[in-house]
Amino acid sequence: MNIDLYERIWMWCIAAMLVLFLGSTAVAAFGHQIHPPSHVETIDPRTALSDPRFRPQGAAIDSHGQLHARVLGLMFAWLPAELTVPAGTPVTFHLTSTDVTHGFEIVRTNGQAMVVPGYVSQFTTQFPEAGEYLIACNEYCGVGHHTMAAKLHVVPRSQWQAPTSTIEASEPNHGH
Ligand code: CUA
């Protein structure tokens, strides 16, 4: 079969692009362990406010020394409204909603997840630089959507006061 030279060039270009795209996904998933931010943990939105997984809200340390931040989204606030974490330390965020879908976004960072009632969204990130960060809602959730905000204080590790509340270490994420 005779294939025109230009057609042949484009075929190789497309083949190379497919390898690049699929390869980058494979590197992210297997090399960097980057996965979608939820591990499909469910929760009853009607009782989320009193659920032990979200009490107390805010920062807590587990028995492995891992830092967790538990945040509830509701129309139209994040609970807690202020959160303090140390710089350069991995923080695992656990997020859920008591009403509608919200969007948790720590502006100017890679910390972002959809917050869906009935589910606990989870991601782990760290903040290399101390400073004040705005936590916004980036999913339209009603008339007060634009007022739904909280503050994240990232302080140098030496100035950070570890919370007194401890929580049980969560099971490693096996993606059930
Ligand atoms: Cu919550 Cu928009």
User: Measured between alpha carbons, how far is 4 from 151 in angstroms, rounded to an integer?
Assistant: 60
What is the pLDDT averaged over residues 113-117? 94
Average pLDDT, the chain: 89
Q: Are 137 and 101 in contact (CB under 8 A)?
A: no
What is the pLDDT averaged over residues 23-46? 83
For residue 96, pLDDT over 80 is answered with yes
pTM of the model: 0.76
For residue range 4-20, list pLDDT tens digits in order.
Answer: 999 999 999 999 999 99
**With a 6 A CB cut-off, is 105 part of the ligand 1 pocket?**
no
What is the pLDDT averaged over residues 96-122? 94
Residue ID of nearest Cα to ligand 1 atom 1 = 102
Residue 174 pLDDT class (50, 70, 90 cuts): very low
Question: Cα angle vertex 100, ends 77, 53, to 5°?
Answer: 70
pLDDT of residue 171: 53
What number does the ligand 1 atom closest to the CA of 139 have? 2
**With a 6 A CB cut-off, is 74 part of the ligand 1 pocket?**
no
**With a 6 A CB cut-off, is 141 part of the ligand 1 pocket?**
yes
